[in-house]
Chain A
Amino acid sequence: MEEKEIKVMKKILGANDEIASQLRRELSEKEIFYLNLMSSPGSGKTTLITKTAEKIKGGIFVIEGDIQTTLDAERITNAGIGAYQINTGPFGGDCHLESSWIKNALNEINLENVEILFVENIGNLVCPAEFDVGAHINVVVLSVTEGEDKPLKYPLAFRNSQLCIISKTDLLPYLDVSLRKIKSNIKSVNPQMEIIELSAKTGKGLKQWIEFLSSSRKKILRLP
Chain B
Amino acid sequence: MHEGAIIHSIFETAKTIKEKENLKEISKIKIIVGQMHQVVEEIMFMYFDFMKKEYEGFENSELKIENINIKILCNHCGKTSEINEPVFVCPHCGSMETEIIAGNELHIASLEGMQNS
Contact = CB atoms under 8 A, between A and B. Distances in A.
Interface of A: 1-16, 94-96, 98, 126-127, 130-131, 151-152, 154-156, 159, 187-191
Interface of B: 1-2, 4-6, 9-10, 12-13, 17, 21, 23-24, 27, 31, 36-38, 85-89, 96-98, 100, 106-117
A1 B114 contact: yes
B9 A94 contact: no
A162 B96 CA distance: 16
Given A14-B13, A187-B96, A191-B88, A9 B115 contact: no
B70 to A, nearest CB: 9
A131 B38 CA distance: 13
Contacts of A190: 88
A218 to B, nearest CB: 27
Contacts of A156: 36-38
Given A3-B115, A6-B112, A130-B6, 16 more contacts: A2-B114, A2-B117, A4-B113, A6-B17, A7-B110, A10-B107, A12-B9, A12-B10, A13-B106, A95-B1, A98-B5, A126-B38, A127-B2, A152-B87, A156-B38, A159-B86
Contacts of B12: 15
A15 B13 contact: yes
29 contacts: A1-B116, A2-B115, A2-B117, A3-B27, A3-B113, A4-B21, A4-B112, A4-B113, A4-B115, A7-B109, A7-B110, A8-B109, A9-B107, A9-B108, A9-B109, A10-B108, A11-B106, A15-B13, A94-B1, A95-B2, A96-B2, A98-B5, A130-B2, A130-B37, A152-B87, A159-B88, A188-B88, A188-B89, A188-B96
Contact of A152 (B85, B110, B113): B85
A127 B6 CA distance: 10
Which of A13, A16, A151 neighbours the largest number of chain B CB atoms within 10 Å of its CB?
A13
A16 B9 contact: yes
A201 B36 CA distance: 35
Contact of A1 (B10, B24, B36, B37): B24
Contacts of B85: 152
A156 B96 CA distance: 17
A144 B36 CA distance: 24
Majority-rule SS of B interface residues: mixed
Given A2-B115, A5-B112, A6-B111, A12 B88 contact: no
Contacts of A9: 107-109
A3 B112 contact: yes
Given A12-B9, A191-B96, A191-B97, A5 B110 contact: yes
Contacts of B38: 126, 154, 156
Contacts of A188: 86-89, 96
Interface centre among B86, B111, B112, by most chain A C-beta atoms within 10 angstroms, is B86
Given A156-B36, A156-B37, A1 B110 contact: no
